[in-house]
Amino acid sequence: MTRLGCTKISTCASASGRCDFVKPAAFSTALRSSATLWDSVGVETERGTQRRREWMNVVLAVVIGMIGVVYPDQLKAGKEKHEITWQFVLFVASLVYFAINAWQWMRTRDGVEARRAKADRRRAREDRERVRIDRLRSDIHDHITLLSAQPKNSPEEQIHAILQAMANVVLALCDSEGIAGANLMVFQTDKPSGHVRFLFSSNYKNGTPRGYLVLNQRYSAVAPERQDRDRSLEEFALPVNDGWAPDLPGAPTAFTDEHLSYEPDAQKLHEDLEGHSEVDPKTTDAISEYFTTGRGKNIGTMICLPVPAARPVAVVNIHHSRRYIVRSKQAQRDFANAFAVFVGPLAAALPND
C-alpha cells in the first residue's frame, strides 16, 4: 500500500525545527470529494442536472465561506511558523475548483440554451418539411390521375406531358418560385453524330465508354410554362463507363447503379470525382464550371431517376434552381423517392427503337 503520509507539500521549518505535513486523511478526502463533485456537475443538458449543479455550487460556496471564517487565525499562525496548513491547501483547491466550475457552468448554460433553441428550430423545420412532402405526394397523385385520363397521343407527346408534370410539381413545392425543369436522357451504345456535344467525355485518361446518355431537347420541359421545351438546354451526351473509371456524378451514376441519385447542391457534383487517378483534373474543373458559371448554373437541386425496362434504358433528370429544397435527410429521401411513380409511365411511353 502506498503511504500518502510521506508526501511533503512544503519544506518550511518552524522555529522549533519541526516540519509540518498535510494531513493525509483530509487531503485524500478533499481529492475524492473534488473528483466526485466534478463528475456530478459535468457538462449535461438536462434541466434536473442543471439544478443539481446550481445547488452543488451553492453548497461549495458555503463551505468556502466557512473555511474563510476560520482561516485568518490559521493563516496568522502559519505565517508565524512559516507553514502551509491543510486548511490553506483545501481552501485554495476549493477556490480554484469553484472558479473553474463557475466559468464552465456559465459556458454550459449558454451552450445548453443554444443547443435547445437549435433543436427546436430543427424540429420545426422538419415538421414544415413533412407537411411539404405530404403536399408533394398529393400533387403527384393528382398529376398521375390527370395523365391517366388523357388520351394516348404519340410517345413524344406522352413523354413531354410526364416531364411537364414533374416540373410543375417541383415548382409548386417551391411555392412557384424559381425555375424547375425535367428532361430525359436516352442510352445508346453508338457514338452520337451530328450536332450533339460530348460533355466531359474527352477528359478521361484511358478506356472507352460502353455507351452514352444522350439529351434531346424534345424530351424536356420547364416550369413555369413559358415555352413547350427547355430552350436553355443544349443537346449533349454523357459517357457511361464500363468499370474502368468512376462514372460521372448524376445521370451516368444513376444509370450504372440502377438507383436514383439525389444532389441537393449541384455545384458540388464535381467533388464525387476528386481523388480518382483515372479522371483527369480537367474533368472535375469542367463539371464545376458547368454548374457554377456555365449553362447549368440555374440547376440547384437535381434528382436523377433511372428508367428501367429489363434494365435501365434512360435517365430522367428533375431539377430546380433552388439549392437544398429540403434539408433533413428523411425529407430528402422522401422528396426523391416520391417521383418514382413517374418512372412506369415514362418507360411505357418510350419508343421501342
- Which of the residue ranges 5-14, 133-142, 169-178 would you say has the lowest mean pLDDT? 5-14
Cell of 254: 444513376
Inter-residue contact 87 to 9 (CB < 8 Å)? no
Q: pLDDT category, 5, cuts 50, 70, 90?
A: very low
Please state, in angstroms and as integers, the Cα–Cα distance from residue 110 to each residue in 45, 50, 92, following that order.
11, 12, 27
**Same domain? 186 vs 60:** no
Where is the domain boundary, 75, 101, 119?
A: 119
**Same domain? 115 vs 154:** no
Q: pLDDT category, 17, cuts 50, 70, 90?
A: very low
Cβ atoms within 10 Å, residue 128: 13
Residue 138 forms part of a structural domain:
no
Most confidently modeled range among 120-134, 198-212, 264-278: 120-134
**Same domain? 283 vs 178:** yes
Residue 126 forms part of a structural domain:
no
Bond prior to 252 in cis (omega within 30° of 0): no
φ and ψ at residue 126, rounded to 5 degrees: -65, -35
**Same domain? 231 vs 182:** yes
Q: pLDDT category, 97, cuts 50, 70, 90?
A: confident
Sorted by sequence, the CB contacts under 8 Å of residue 336 that are 6+ apart come out as: 260, 262, 303
Residue 135 forms part of a structural domain:
no
Calculate mean pLDDT across residues 67-84: 56
Distance CA 34, CA 67 (A): 16
Q: pLDDT category, 124, cuts 50, 70, 90?
A: very high
Report the candidate in 208, 219, 272, 212 with the shortest Cα–Cα distance to residue 243.
208
Please determine, for residue 140, whether its predicted confidence score (pLDDT) is greater than 90. Answer: yes
Residue 128 forms part of a structural domain:
no
Chain mean pLDDT for the chain? 76
Residue type, 142: D
**Same domain? 191 vs 270:** yes
Residue type, 50: Q
**Same domain? 105 vs 230:** no
Most confidently modeled range among 11-20, 25-34, 219-228, 289-298: 289-298
In eight-state DSSP terms, residue 13 is B
Q: Print the domain residue range for 307.
A: 150-349
In eight-state DSSP terms, residue 341 is G
Residue 235 forms part of a structural domain:
yes
Say how many domains are in the chain. 2
**Same domain? 25 vs 166:** no
**Same domain? 33 vs 111:** yes
Note the pLDDT of residue 167. Answer: 93
pTM for the whole thing?
A: 0.65
Distance CA 164, CA 144 (A): 12
- Which of the residue ranges 109-113, 166-170, 260-264 would you say has the lowest mean pLDDT? 109-113
Residue 314 forms part of a structural domain:
yes
Where is the domain boundary, 66, 101, 119?
A: 119
Q: pLDDT category, 26, cuts 50, 70, 90?
A: very low
Pairing of strands 197-198, 180-188: unpaired
Inter-residue contact 312 to 258 (CB < 8 Å)? yes
